[in-house]
Amino acid sequence: MTEDTPAPRRRGRPSREAASEGPDARTRILEAARTEFAERGYDKTSIRGIAKAAGVDAALVHHYYGTKDEVFAAAVEVTFEPALVIPAVLAGPPEALGERLARFFLSVWEDPATRSPLLAVLRSAVTHEAAANVLRDFVLRRLLERIAAELDVADPTFRAELAASHMIGIAMLRYVIRAEPLASADPEDIIAMVAPTLQRYVGDG
Amino acid sequence: MTEDTPAPRRRGRPSREAASEGPDARTRILEAARTEFAERGYDKTSIRGIAKAAGVDAALVHHYYGTKDEVFAAAVEVTFEPALVIPAVLAGPPEALGERLARFFLSVWEDPATRSPLLAVLRSAVTHEAAANVLRDFVLRRLLERIAAELDVADPTFRAELAASHMIGIAMLRYVIRAEPLASADPEDIIAMVAPTLQRYVGDG
């Protein structure tokens, strides 16, 4: 976007110059992907559309992120940056891990900037097999395995998944279906009720 | 469908004869509605299409069930017959209510005959505001209030909703996203883990 932005390219493979757009172009592509998937849904989003929205060549999108499914996975992951956040959630007193998980999950959904792409992910996963597969094989598996690796319990992945299922169900009822009283409940009241459940799953032997 | 089935009617309001098709026509309409919503989704299903599939006049569908939203609600409810089943689930030792809820919920989802319309409901609710509203205002509210009325806890509806959110999230991960190990887990193993959670919500003071 600054002095080293190359002239716009309209076709062909990315040259070394295009690749040298570096982190700026990468970030623009991810932001564009996030917006496109959120606004148009999985099915109607294309690499070409993402490239156009980011102001880059479609080949550069492929170059950085691969297939549409891989772009989708990257766009989902950038939404809540698990690589940064999950270690922070996992660190800290083990007896309060359930509370930290509940608090992190709700904070991501309460923020309109992250809620909207997450809603798009949920919609896509429920209606499109391909999006469900990406969510399962890239996003969720990595997330669950990262959490499970830290748990000192039998069947850690199963337990991490049960915790995740509760939080996904809360997102469904609170943000998608908007069922009361859950939809208007104070996040702290939800955390107070749900944290012990999550703690039972991730903290018990 | 037998000796008292009137001649097919193609237009106009239902006559007294048409209404006298009675339970047969009512049942056929509901079955047709369930199939149409499951196969075509909320958006593409019409009263006219349901009437055609049931072999009755569209006016008769209106006559028995009202608007499309009301037909949708009736079709969802007939899927798991809460009026019959919920009292049976609520009856029995209070200390095992969580287990009965988990067992009932999983049995409905494990049966392919009921799973398919429920998946359609979930898909419709996630993608169509109108379907989400019906699920919230008719199905879920009635279901939660029926359960909450039996609970001897503070905030019974909130607690019933938290229990429901967990089960809906399990349905999402097990049947929609099919994340392992939850997707292949023995239902009894899920019930063993989840029943104490539900019991905490619906049974504690």
At residue B147, the pLDDT reads: 87
Question: B189 and B136 share a domain?
Answer: yes
Let me know whether B7 and B62 are in one domain: yes
Q: Report in angstroms the alpha-carbon separations of A37 from A139, B112, B158, B186.
A: 15, 31, 33, 35
Q: pLDDT per residue over A162-204, tens digit each?
A: 999 999 999 999 999 999 999 999 999 999 999 999 999 998 6
Q: Which of B10, B36, B66 is the last residue of a domain?
A: B66
Q: Which of A164-173, B23-32, B66-75, B134-143 has the highest mean pLDDT?
A: A164-173
Rg for chain B (alpha carbons), in Å? 19
A172 interface with B at CB cutoff 8 Å: yes
Range of the domain at B123: 78-203
How high is the mean pLDDT of chain A? 84
B73 found inside a domain: no
From B137, which residue of chain A is nearest by alpha-carbon distance? Answer: A179
Evaluate whether residue A92 is within a structural domain: yes
B162 CB neighbours in chain A (<8 A) are: 170, 182, 190, 193-194
Asked whether residue A141 falls in the same domain as residue A62, the answer is no
| Cβ contact, residue pair A136, B196, below 8 Å | no
Q: Integer distance in angstroms from the first to the last C-alpha of chain B? A: 53
Query: First and final CA of chain A: distance in angstroms?
Result: 52
Q: What pLDDT sits at residue B80? A: 67
Half-sphere exposure of A79 (CA within 13 A, CB side): 31
Question: Domain check: are A174 and A118 in the same one?
Answer: yes
Interface test with B, best of A128, A159, A165 (most B CBs within 10 A): A165
Residues A153, A199 contacting (CB under 8 angstroms): no
For the stretch B151-190, pLDDT in tens is: 888 899 999 999 999 999 999 999 989 999 999 999 999 9
Of A168, A185, A200, the CB nearest to B172: A168
CATH code for position A161: 1.10.357.10
- Name the domain count of chain B: 2
The amino acid sitting at A37 is F
Asked whether residue A91 falls in the same domain as residue A187, the answer is yes
Percent of chain A at pLDDT > 70 equals 86
Residue B10 has pLDDT above 60, yes or no: no
For residue B80, which of B45, B102, B54, B105 has the smallest C-alpha distance? B105
Give the closest of A122, A158, A178 to B185, CB-based: A158
Could you count the other beta carbons within 10 Å of the beta carbon of residue A149? 11
Task: Determine, yes or no, domain membership for A11.
Answer: no
Give yes or no: residues A58 and A85 share one domain.
Answer: no
Spatial distance between the Cα atoms of A150 and A94, rounded to a whole number of angstroms: 10
pLDDT of residue B167: 94
Using the Cβ of B204 and the Cβ atoms of chain A, whether some distance falls under 8 Å is answered with no
Sign for the CA dihedral angle at B163, B168, B170, B173 comes to: negative
Do residues B203 and B103 make contact, with C-beta atoms less than 8 angstroms apart? no
Pair B136, B170 in one domain: yes
| Chain A hits for B180, Cβ within 8 Å | 157
Instruction: Count how many pairs of residues, chain A against chain B, have C-beta atoms within 8 Å.
Output: 122
CATH number of B31's domain: 1.10.10.60
Residues B104 and B191 placed together within one structural domain of the fold: yes
Let me know whether B83 and B34 are in one domain.
no
A96 close contact with B: CB closer than 8 A: no
